[in-house]
Structure 1
Amino acid sequence: MSKIDTRIRHVTKPGANLFAELGFASDEAQRYQDESRALIGQTLALKEQLMGELASWIEDHHLKQAEAAEVLHVTRPRVSDVVNKKAGKFTIDALVEMLARVGKPVKVVIG
């Protein structure tokens, strides 16, 4: 049986430009990093908007987190994550699905 090589050869430091570390030219690496940060920011903003809608629905219906979890088909800690806008814990799909369950279908408008 062959042994699998699991040695770590390089660790990218937090905040480092991954594209520069991959060998892209400095100006190109900066452009790619700026573009990826902008896309990540847009995704986070969208997730936060969807979470805000869910949190408002929960508040408007005077639901406890456990009650909301039942309606949303998720666990109570997941509802807490929504209310506290822990965007990194959700996909856009999951949030859209939860909104659909409460009668708030999401419509996408591209501007």
Structure 2
Amino acid sequence: MNKIDTQVRHVTKAGANLFAELGFAPDDAKRYQAESRERIEHTLAIKEQLMGELASWIKASHLKQDEAAEILHVTRPRVSDVINKKTSKFTIDALVDMLARVGKSVTVVIG
């Protein structure tokens, strides 16, 4: 039986520049981290907007979370996660699918 090596050899501290930790040149590491943060913020903004649309639909439809869950084909805790904008728990695709289930189309505009 082969033994799997699971020893932790290095831990990057929270807030550290991962690109610098990986050995990129300081200027490159700084630039890559800034680009990464910008992309993450953009993705989070899209998810928050989609979740806001779903939450508005639920409120306007006067639905309880379990009723919305049945329509959206998700569990009630997932509806709670949408309402509370827990962005890390959803992909953009999943949110777009839920919006489609309630008859809302999503249009992408590239600027």
Alignment of 1:1-111 (within 5 A): 1-111=1-111
Task: Return the offset for 1:3.
Answer: 1.0
User: What whole-Å deviation, never above 9, does each CA across 1:44-83 have from its counterpart, x for those lacking one?
Assistant: 0000000000000000000000000000000000000000
* CA–CA separation in structure 1 for the residues paired with 2:4 and 2:98: 41
C-alpha distance in structure 2 between counterparts of 1:104 and 1:15, whole Å: 38
Counterpart CA distance in 1 for 2:109 and 2:100 is 17
1:10 aligned counterpart, secondary structure = coil
The TM-score, its normalising length taken from structure 1, stands at 0.98
| Aligned length in residues | 111
Distance 1:48 1:69 in 2: 18
CA distance in 2, matches of 1:2, 1:97: 43
Instruction: Using the TM superposition, give the Cα deviation of residue 2 of structure 1 relative to its aligned residue in structure 2, in angstroms.
Output: 1.9
1:6, distance to aligned residue in structure 2 (A): 0.7
Deviation at 1:107, TM superposition (A): 1.0
Q: Distance in 2 between matches of 1:46 and 1:104?
A: 15
| Consecutive unaligned residues in structure 2, runs of 5 or more | none
Moved over 2 A (4+): none
